[in-house]
Amino acid sequence: METKRSNNYTPRVKNDADLGGRVPPRDLDVEQAVLGALMLEKDAYSVVCDLLKPESFYDPVNSMVYAAIQQLGAAQKPIDMLTVTEQLRLDGNLEKIGGPVVVSELTSRVLSGANVEYHARIVAQKYLARELISFSSDISTKAFDEVHDVDDLLQEAEGRLFEISQRNVKKDVTQINPVIEQAIKQIQAAANRASGLSGLESGFHELDKLTSGWQSSDLIIIAARPAMGKTAFVLSMAKNMAVNYEIPVAIFSLEMSNVQLVNRLISNVCELGGEKIKSGQLSPMEWDQLMSRVKELQDARLYIDDTPSLSILELRTKARRLVREHQVRFIIIDYLQLMNATGMKFGSREQEVSMISRSLKQLAKELDIPIVALSQLNRSVETRGKDGDRDSKRPQLSDLRESGAIEQDADIVCFIHRPEYYLRSDTDMEGRNIRGLAEFIVAKHRSGRVDDVKMRFRKEFARFENWEDGPMVSAVSVGSKMNASGDDGGMSSSAGATFSGGSADFLGATDEPTPF
Give the 3-state DSSP-derived string for 176-210, with helices as H, strands as E and coil as C.
Answer: HHHHHHHHHHHHHHHHHCCCCCCCECCCCHHHHHH
DSSP letter (8 states) at residue 104: H
Give the 3-state DSSP-derived string for 484-505, with helices as H, strands as E and coil as C.
Answer: CCCCCCCCCCCCCCCCCCCCCC
- Parallel/antiparallel/unpaired status of strands 451-458 and 463-466: antiparallel
Distances (CA, A) of 11 to 3, 53, 60: 13, 18, 7
Counting beta carbons within 10 angstroms of the beta carbon of residue 361, is it exposed (0 to 12), middle (13 to 18) or buried (19 or more)?
buried
d(CA 182, CA 201): 21
DSSP 19-43: GTTPPPS--HHHHHHHHHHHHH-TT
List 55, 105, 255, 350, catalytic entry: 255
DSSP 200-255: B--S-HHHHHHHTSBPTT-EEEEEE-TTS-HHHHHHHHHHIIIIIS---EEEEESS
Contact residues for 418 (Cβ-Cβ < 8 A; gap 6+): 228, 229, 437, 438, 439, 457
Distances (CA, A) of 331 to 210, 214, 323, 335, 374: 20, 11, 10, 12, 11
Catalytic status, residue 255: yes
d(CA 498, CA 286): 9
Distances (CA, A) of 5 to 35, 88, 95, 162, 170: 16, 16, 11, 36, 34
Give the 3-state DSSP-derived string for 120-134, with helices as H, strands as E and coil as C.
Answer: HHHHHHHHHHHHHHH
Query: So which residues are the catalytic ones?
Result: 255
